[in-house]
Structure 1
Amino acid sequence: MKPTAADQPVEGPASGNQQSKAVDAGALADAPTLGELLRTTAHLGAIGYGGPAILALMKQTLVTKKKWITEKDFMDALSLAQALPGATGVTVLGYVGFKVKRIWGGVIAPLGFVTPPTLLMLALSWAYFAYGQLSFVKSLFAGLGALVVALLLNATVVLGRSVFGKLSRDDWRGALIAAAGFTGVHFLHANVLWVVLAAALLGILLFLPLCKRGAAVPDAQAPQTPERLPARAFVPAALVAAVVTAGLAVPYTRELMATFLGIGATAFGGGFGSIPLIHAQVVDAHGWLTTKEFVDGIALGQITPGPVFITATFIGYRVAGVIGALAATVAVFIPSVTAIILLADLHARVQNHPATRAVIKGLQSGFIGLILSVTLQFAAKSLVSWPQWLIFAATYVWVGVLKKNSLWAILATIMISLLLIN
């Protein structure tokens, strides 16, 4: 059995642990080919259930198993992705892809990740609108909801170990920020964007003195000025621009693509935080779906892998068929992936500044509170019968304790749901 990321906690960006970082850097494998990057991210997209829980699987695959990036790189990507709009997992992969294969990688990695859930959602959308309510959707959703709670709990534990590392007297700062983030979202129902900004501010206030004390210790690998990119490196960017231009030029996809470009550019706080924004646009403003259809689309999104934003495929299919589904899906992910590619090198150059390290530590600590809040919200709605508690407990033992692949837990959950949940 291979160890997961939870078995190998490291110090966060504020620690300045030079020896640990040198070991990480020395253990890196060769950069993958574009084909290997596409296959790996597509595999993550095919088995990535659970929203934030997929981040733990990404970390295990990219850091521990493949060794394409260091754990510090992954946590830096996570902190930057949290500060940007859009789906966190897709944005993280944009950063990772750019890190290992520049612009081509920054396009290929997110594309591979979203392709499997998009294809599955296309099939489910066709079935839903062709034949009406699917009889097994509610049963599957009930069972998969319990599985998601277990995956979220595991993600909280795994990412918490990465953020806090070895517990020490200085960790009260991170715990305070995590508690503040949890309270703001779970009890005060604050906008996730304001919670993220508050976590960054608290990071400066609480961690800056600590980071300044460790600032004299340089990283094992100081960031270097990126090499000048050849002209051919911008081909993928030109292709993406051409797709967007074509979508905006076609009359029956113009409004759809423009709407989802706007959603992708303003939906801070990840998938679940974006649901009210999407509802306001597609139900209230445009009337493309009824409220019931929108809720059913979110439910279908839960039984597919990938991010919550994949519901854009369902909405696009309702508006303009397959072309509309592809247009909406591409549009909702483009803003965040473009932003993180543009900021990746700048982030690398300033990440060792004490203020930057303090902000990153604050964002990472706040993210633990956000994940915990989502976990409890799902638990309150999903763990209401003994089969669901059985699925939850078995999944956590399988994934969190035994460190097994979540795909088998998903398959078992589907069987139990169909047999035991009415």
Structure 2
Amino acid sequence: MHARVKRAAAPADAAAPADAAPVALATLCAIFLKVGCTSFGGFMVMIGVTEDAVAQRRKLMTPQQVLDGLTLASVLPGPMAINLVAYVGYHLRGAAGAAVCVGAAVAPSFLCMLAFSAAYFRWGHVAALGQVFMGVVPAVAAIILAAAWRMWGACVGDWREGALAVAALALALLLPGLHTTFLMLAAAALAGWRCFGGAATERRRTAPAPRAGAPVPRRAALLLAALPLLGLAPGVLLKLLAAFAGMSLLMFGGGYVFIPMLQHTVVDGYGWVTRRELVDALAMGQLTPGPVAISAAFIGYKVAGVAGAAVASVGMFAPAAALTVACARLLERVRHSAAVRAALRGVRAAVLGMVAAAAVVVGKAAAPHWLSLALFALTFGLLLRYRVEAVWVVPAAGAIGLLVF
């Protein structure tokens, strides 16, 4: 009883952890390399692993701040998980932190996709990794649910926030889609403003401003001038960059929403890959430890080798991440308004329900086998009870799937 009262009395918009020395860029790189290596199963897994790494284990941010970043990432175009990573990096070390975190988080899946692409175009269709994926799916569902469980304990202070989270969970499952997401977030912001706007007795706190990082170097012109010396065609690379940057800024609602746009552009428009190759690229994207949008690297690799894969990946992730950083600056300026804080309380609860819904959706994709339920329960227990890191759980689940399924 006392614990419940204590949690309910805690401010919903908790202050940031004590302002310590700025986090070193090398430390951020190491953290998000690990995040990038363990985020098998899609963007929601990377979100869960990111929250565990920066809020639970290292206390660099509060769960409320992570949810604020997730809210911003969910309403902006581009891969949602990478947008969240950009927000976290910017909050901790400014623009340089955002660049380092995004690069480190994308690097493992990019290297995996390069290896898959090289093998694919040398030996043909890759089908041997399907069994690994079947073992990973229940573990992925457990990782997402564990993140939602932890954030519930940290962010839900009374029955009104709990009701908003449950309502968002139900709507996300019953009426999935981009329009539902936007309407849900808008309704939650209005409900939060109405329900929590009058509670202005909270002591006003000024969260530390994002730690300024060094400006990102402007070397694009030098790199472009060096391309002919490397035997690369700048025209082809610029076309890849423009195509994927355009899709990135039009990609609302997650990686799977942009698949029809991707087919229209790279198959029907430019003819860079066949439909079968696109399907295989998307399948291999699900087997890398990162967002399915890393399939862009496969397409770029076929068009212009390693340089094409790199340019396509930059086009897919960098524009939306830069937009997230720009919007994060605006959010930092207005978030201390009493009305904005109240609205954010409602939006956080709705986002929390959406995270829980993602765990249900992923769980439905698991193989109908007793081992799937066992892997889910074991992973969930290891994450919450023993705080085992996903870096150990996900590969073990994949190995079990390879042996059993």
Query: For the superposition of Structure 1 and Structure 2, which TM-score range results when normalised by the shorter chain?
Result: 0.7 to 0.9
Is 1:136 matched up with 2:117? no
Q: Select which of 364, 368, 373 maps to 1:380.
A: 364
Residue 322 (1) aligns with residue 316 (2): no
Q: Tell me which residue corresponds to 1:337.
A: 321
Partner of residue 204, structure 1: 189
Q: Is the 8 A contact 2:245 2:316 kept in 1?
A: yes
Q: Deviations over 1:111-152 (max 9, x none)?
A: 111111111111111111211123422222222233323323
Contact kept, 8 Å, 2:193 with 2:346, in 1: the verdict is no
Letter in 1 for 2:84: V
Contact 1:261 1:335 in 2 (8 A): yes
Farther-moved stretch of structure 1 (108-117 vs 134-143) = 134-143
Matched, 1:239 2:219: yes
Cα 1:132–1:200 shift into 2, 3 Å: same
* 8 Å Cα contact 1:121-1:304 kept in structure 2: yes
Amino acid at match of 2:392: W
Residue 3 of structure 2: aligned partner: none
Give runs of aligned pairs for residues 54-203 of structure 1, distance below 5 A.
Answer: 54-163=46-155, 165-169=156-160, 171-185=162-176, 190=177, 192=178, 194-203=179-188
Deviations 1:296-337 (A, max 9, x none): 222212221122221211222122221111011111111221
TM score, norm. by length of structure 2 = 0.86
Q: Is the 8 A contact 1:146 1:389 kept in 2?
A: yes
Distance 1:67 1:158, change over 3 A: closer
Q: Which runs of 5+ in 1 are unaligned?
A: 1-8
Q: Which residue of 2 aligns with 1:44?
A: 35
Q: Structure 1 residues 63 and 107 mapped into 2: Cα distance closer, same or farther (>3 Å)?
A: same
Which of the residues 181, 185, 202 maps onto 1:217?
202
Paired residue for 1:250, among 202, 226, 234?
Answer: 234
The answer on whether the counterparts of 2:193 and 2:342 sit within 8 Å (CA) in structure 1 is yes
Q: Percent identity?
A: 28
**Residue pair 1:383, 1:389 contacting (<8 A) in 2 also:** no
Question: Letter of the aligned partner of 1:346 in structure 2?
Answer: L
Give the TM-score normalised by the residue count of structure 1. 0.83
**Does structure 2 conserve the Cα–Cα contact (< 8 Å) formed by 1:21 and 1:220?**
no
Distance 1:270 1:155, change over 3 A: farther
Deviations 1:224-244 (A, max 9, x none): 6x89x7xx933x152368768
Matches for 1:239-278 after TM superposition, within 5 Å: 239=219, 250-278=234-262
Distance 1:37 1:222 in 2: 20
What code does the residue aligned with 2:328 have?
A
Compared CA separation, residues 392 and 346, structure 1 to 2 (3 A):
same
Letter in 1 for 2:82: V
Q: How far does the alpha carbon of each residue in 1:172-203 deviate from its partner, in whole angstroms, 9 at most, with x for none?
A: 23433443333320xxxx3x2x2232123202
The AA in structure 2 aligned to 1:238 is R
1:23-38 to 2 correspondence within 5 Å? 24-26=16-18, 28-38=19-29
Partner of 1:5: none
Corresponding residue for residue 348 of structure 2: 364
Aligned partner of residue 75 in structure 1, secondary structure: helix
* Inter-partner Cα distance in structure 2 for 1:257 and 1:145: 32
Residues in 2 aligned to 1:406 and 1:67: alpha-carbon distance in whole angstroms: 17
CA 1:297/1:60 → structure 2, altered by over 3 Å: closer, same or farther? Answer: same
